[in-house]
Structure 1
Amino acid sequence: MNSPISLDGRQVCVIGGSRYFGRRLVQELRDAGAAVSVVNRGSAPPPPGVTHLLADRDDEAALRAALGDRRFDVVVDQVCYTPRQARVASRVFAGRTGRYVMTSTVEVYAELGRPGGAPLAEDALDLAAQRVDLELPWEEPAFLESHYGEGKRQAEAVFSAQRGFDFAAVRTAHVLGGADFTGRLAHYVERIDLGLPVLVHARPQPASFVHEAEIARFLAWAAAADFTGPVNAASQDPLDVRALGLALAVGREPVFELVTPGTAASPFSFDRGYPLNVSRAARLGFVFSRTADWLPAVAEEARA
C-alpha cells in the first residue's frame, strides 16, 4: 500500500487539468490539502475549491499576466507538447516555483522499442544528447500529432537543461479508463460487442498501460515528492493487443484479424515493443498495481 499523499498548505499550480485524468489530478491535489490553481483557456470550470486562472500557455505575456505575482511550491504541467511550450514555461516559472513536474509519455521511447526487447528504463533515453529544434512547425496540428513523441522528448530536454527549478518528468504509459476521450477504448469495446474484427499485427508486441485514477494519484504523489529526472509510470504486467482484447472482452469472444499492408492496425497493436520498467518508481516509494487488477472493471465501465 502506498503512503497517503500530504500537501497541506502547499501552493500547487496545474497547467491544463480540465479533462480525463487531469481533472482527477486536480481533485487529488485539493483533497491532499494543497491550495490548487488551474491555468487553462477556460474549456471547463475547475472543481470546487480550486482557483481558476485563464490564459493560453503559448502566449507568454498572457500567462505572466494571469499569474500576476503568484508563487508556487510545485507546478504540474499536463499539457506541454513542444519544446517551444517548455521554453516559455521555463522562463515564466523560473523564480516562481521550486519544483516542476511535466506529464510526459511512453511515446518518448518509440524510436527505441524493438520486437522482443526488454522493458525500457528511464536511462534508455539520453536527454542531454536530444536535439532541440524550435523552428519546426510545432503550431501546426497535423505536424504536432504526427510528432507527438518527438515533441515530448524535446520538451523534456528543454526543461532538463534549465536551472530555474527542480524538474521531474512522469513518462506515462497508455492511459485507460471510463472517461477516455480518445476513442481508443471505445474502439475495442464496440468491435468486440458487435463481433467485428480487431486488426492486429502478425507479431504484436507488448505495451504498458495504466488506469486513469492511478496515474492521477501518481502525479499528485510526484508533486509531493522531491526526486528529479524522468520516472516511468505504468501498471505492472504489459500486454500485447491480443491479451488486451481478451481482457476487455469480459466473457465475450474477440475476433482478431491480421492487418493488411497499407491498412492501419487497431490502437495499441504495435510491431515494436516498448513496455516500461517501473523499478525506479518502486525504489522511490510508489508501487503500481497490476493491469489485471483494474482492466475488466474498465471494460464494464466503458459499456455502461
Structure 2
Amino acid sequence: MRVLVLGGTHHVGRAVVEVALRRGDAVTTLNRGLSRPPAPGVEALVADRTDPDAVRRALGGRSWDAVIDTWAWAPRVVADSARLLAGRAGHYGYVSSRAVYAWPWPAGADESAPLVTGDPGGQDGGDYAAAKRGGELAVAEAFGERALLARAGMILGPYENVGRMPWWLRRLERGGAVLAPGPAGAALQYIDAIDLAAWMLAAAEAGTGGAFNVAGPAGHTTIGDLLTIACQVIGSDAELVWPPAELLERENFPLGMEFGLRYPSDPHPTGIHDADVSAALAAGLTLRPLRETLADTWAWLRREGDPAPRPDTPFPAQWFDPVQERHVLELVRPLM
C-alpha cells in the first residue's frame, strides 16, 4: 500500500513505519522533522500539524491508500487532517486509547461500554481521554466506515517513551532487592506496539473499519511473568519482592500505577486488565510472545540509549522514590 504516517518518529508511529517497510509498503511520513532522521526508504514530509495550511502545502495533491494517525492532543488537529484527506485516502486508522471509556471501566467491557464526552473541534488536549475521544469523532465524521479506531490498551515494546518498560529494565539491570508491584499473579493486559502496527496496517489493507479494543486477551500474562521474563532477558539476578497492595497503599507508595495495577485510594481497580478484545482478535490481531517483546525493547535500549522522557507523562518521577522503596522493603521483609 501507499501509507501516510502522521508522526512516525516515536513509539507507535515509529513501529508503524518499521512494520510498513517490512511489509513492502511505500511509506510517507509527515511531522516537524525535529526528532530523528527518517528511516531509509521513507519519504519524509515536514510540517507542523497544528498549522493546517502548512500541512496542506506539504501534502500537495497527493493521495494514499491508508493513513495512520497517532496524535494525542487537541482533537482539532485530527479533524483538520481527516477532512483534508477524506477524498484522498482510502482508509484512516487512528491510534486511540481505552481511556475513551467512562471511568470506572466495567469488568470485561467490550466496545459498547459508556464513553467520555469528546469534541472533534476541541482546541485543548489537556484532558487525554476527552482529546482521544474527540479525535475518534473527527476521524469518524470524515471517513465514516473507512475509519478504524484502535482503542489500545497499555502499549509496550520497542520505542516506548512513556517510562514503563525502559525504566523497569534499567532498574532490574542494577539488581539487588527490587520492590515489585504485587501480587505477582495480578493479570496484565497489554499490546506490543509492533503488533498494534501490524494489525492496523492489515486492517487498512482489508478495509476494516469501526472501533476495537486492541490488547492481548484477559489473562494472557501477569505482572509476575512480565518482570521475571524481563530479568531473564537482560541476565539480571535481581530479587523481586512482592508487597501486598494494601501495604503500598498505606505507605502512599504508588508503585504499580505505571501498569494500571492500582490508583490512589484504589488498590484493586477493576476493568483495567480484563477488557473484552474478542472483536480485534476476530479481525486478525495476533500477539508476539512476551519474551520477544521484552527482548526487542532491551535491544533497542542498548542500541540507542534511554529515550527522552515525554513531558506529558508522570512516569517514573511521580510513582518511584528510591528512599521509599528501601523503607517499604524493610516493612515487607518480616512478612516473607
Task: Mark yes or no: TM-score above 0.5.
Answer: yes
Which TM-score applies when normalising by structure 2? 0.72
8 Å CA contact 2:179, 2:242 repeated in 1: yes
Which TM-score applies when normalising by structure 1? 0.78
Structure 1 unmatched ranges of 5 or more: 1-6, 139-143
The aligned residue for residue 295 of structure 2 is 297
Structure 2 unmatched ranges of 5 or more: 263-267, 303-336
Please, which of 163, 166, 175 is the counterpart of residue 186 of structure 1?
166
The aligned residue for residue 15 of structure 2 is 24
Q: For the residues of structure 1 that align with 2:176 and 2:105, how far apart are their CA atoms?
A: 32
Matches within 5 A, 1:225-304: 225-236=206-217, 237-250=219-232, 252-257=238-243, 258-260=247-249, 262-266=252-256, 267-268=258-259, 269-270=261-262, 271-272=268-269, 273-275=271-273, 276-289=275-288, 291=290, 294=292, 297=295, 301=299, 304=302
Greater Rg over alpha carbons, structure: 2
The aligned residue for residue 122 of structure 1 is 111
Matches within 5 A, 1:101-180: 101-109=93-101, 111-114=103-106, 117-118=107-108, 120-126=109-115, 130-132=117-119, 134=121, 137-138=124-125, 144=126, 147-163=127-143, 166-180=146-160
The aligned residue for residue 310 of structure 2 is none
In the alignment, is residue 67 of structure 1 matched against residue 48 of structure 2?
Answer: no
Q: For the residues of structure 2 that align with 1:124 and 1:162, how far apart are their CA atoms?
A: 23
The change in CA–CA distance for 1:110 and 1:137 in structure 2 (over 3 A counts) is same
The aligned residue for residue 27 of structure 2 is 36
More relative contact order, 1 or 2 (CA 8 Å, 6+ apart): 1
Q: For the residues of structure 1 that align with 2:16 and 2:122, how far apart are their CA atoms?
A: 32
The change in CA–CA distance for 1:298 and 1:67 in structure 2 (over 3 A counts) is closer
- Over residues 146-172 of structure 1, what are the superposed CA-to-partner deviations in whole Å (9 max), with x where a residue is unaligned? x32332122112322335772111122
Aligned length: 282
The change in CA–CA distance for 1:58 and 1:256 in structure 2 (over 3 A counts) is same
Q: For the residues of structure 2 that align with 1:196 and 1:190, how far apart are their CA atoms?
A: 14
Q: For the residues of structure 1 that align with 2:133 and 2:190, how far apart are their CA atoms?
A: 19
8 Å CA contact 1:189, 1:303 repeated in 2: no
Q: Give, in angstroms, the shift of residue 69 of structure 1.
A: 0.8
User: What amino acid does structure 1 have at the position aligned with 2:58?
Assistant: A
